[in-house]
Amino acid sequence: MGERRLVKDLNIKKVIVEKGVSGQEFAQQILRRLPDIPVQTIKENESKAVHDIQNMGKETLHLLPYKGEFLKPCPGTREYICCGYQILNVATNCPLDCSYCILQSYFNQPYLKTFVNLEQGVEQVLKIIDSNPDLVFRIGTGEFTDSLAIDPITRWSDWLLPLFSKRKNAVLELKTKTDNIRGLLTSKFRDRIIVSWSLNSPFIAVGEEHRAASLKKRLEAARQCQSEGFVVGFHFDPLIPHPKWKEEYTKTLELLDKYIDPKGIIWISLGSLRFMPGLKPIIRRRHPDTCVLDGEFIMGLDGKMRYFKPIRMELYSYMRKNLEKWHPDPGLYLCMESHDVWQKSMGWSPETSNGLKRYLDRRVVEIFG
């Protein structure tokens, strides 16, 4: 009953299936979980872009094969320090509707696209992992979608967890703004799995993270995962200055203290709002009441709009100071920042992307062995 309710809550109203993939087992399993939803079969590349800018096709599930590489490095830039994260491409787009989300600019790729040849793709990923036993692979599924938002339909957790739990040189991070943890908790696999939540201030969570679970529900889910033996992580990204932002982010830190044992956290990332210039008019059209564009921005070295350095450093310094009061070593790191911002706001710097990768790889070894 609980699983049917979760599927219903996603409000999928239509399924598009590309010709030739409906016979695949993964596709059949998904269709069986949506027995009353209309299904349309189309030819390859026949899908039309969504014209309803407000909807973005978030109520349509599109089952198709992925033809690129399933494992790709996080799209960082050499102008800023990157952590060496690897992305497992399971899907693109998201049923949540955060005002600041970069996926809004992908209007030529509408709908909740789910790749039904994932099983074959993951086989190739595992070969890469197994053929490089001396490397640590930090892999996540939450870059182009929410890792758990449609898990009640896809049940990625059913078969990804056992595959990655067996690898001693890899971890799989599932990043979410939901409380859809049922699939995780019914799995017997815990080792090498990290469940992470994106957090923000209550003001931003309520006003800008539409359709996401409340902060309380996210942290209740995190506590439950932690009590069930999962390692957890958190991502304060994007940090957004807004009226009384210090007091607001402090409220989130107080909730974190209430629900979470800091000794069970592998890392907490900090990042500030950044976006390609083309996203700004889209945000204005889709979210006219948003506050996320009210700040002072400048073009960064990577071509993205960013807050002025003093603003970013104040955000990071405040969060670092208060998080380290909570626990002396919560695995803090900055996402896509320069050496001088690291040094001035964090009190140290990994110097390079390789330096940050080594730091986070050590966290993996310390936690999982």
For 282-327, the pLDDT digits (tens) are 999 999 999 999 999 999 999 999 999 999 999 999 999 999 999 9
Helix 215-227 crosses helix 245-259 at what angle (to 10 degrees)?
A: 30
- pTM for the whole structure: 0.95
Tokens of 121: 């793709």
| List of the chain residues with pLDDT < 70 | 1-6, 45, 47-54, 107-108
Task: Tell me the C-alpha distance between 88 and 118, whole Å.
Answer: 9
Residue-level pLDDT at 345: 98
Contact 30, 61 (CB under 8 A): yes
Instruction: Give residue 249's Cα distance to chain centre.
Output: 20
The pLDDT of residue 57 = 86
CA atoms within 13 A on the CB side of 45: 1
How confident is the model at residue 107, as a pLDDT? 62
CA distance linking residue 168 with residue 134, whole number of Å: 10
Q: What angle do CA 167, 169, 173 make, to 5 degrees?
A: 75
For the domain made up of 66-110+117-368, the CATH class stated in words is alpha beta
For 92-113, what is each residue's pLDDT tens digit?
999 999 999 999 987 667 899 9
Question: What are the respective helix, strand and coil percentages of the chain, to the nearest 5?
Answer: 40, 20, 40
Kindly list the domain boundaries of the chain, sorted by start residue.
66-110+117-368
User: Is residue 352 a contact partner of residue 78, using CB atoms and an 8 Å limit?
Assistant: no
- Burial grade of 154 (CB within 10 A; 0-12, 13-18, 19 or more): buried
pLDDT of residue 1: 43
Q: What are phi and psi of 329, to 5 degrees?
A: -145, 75
Report the candidate in 192, 212, 90, 220 with the shortest Cα–Cα distance to residue 143: 90
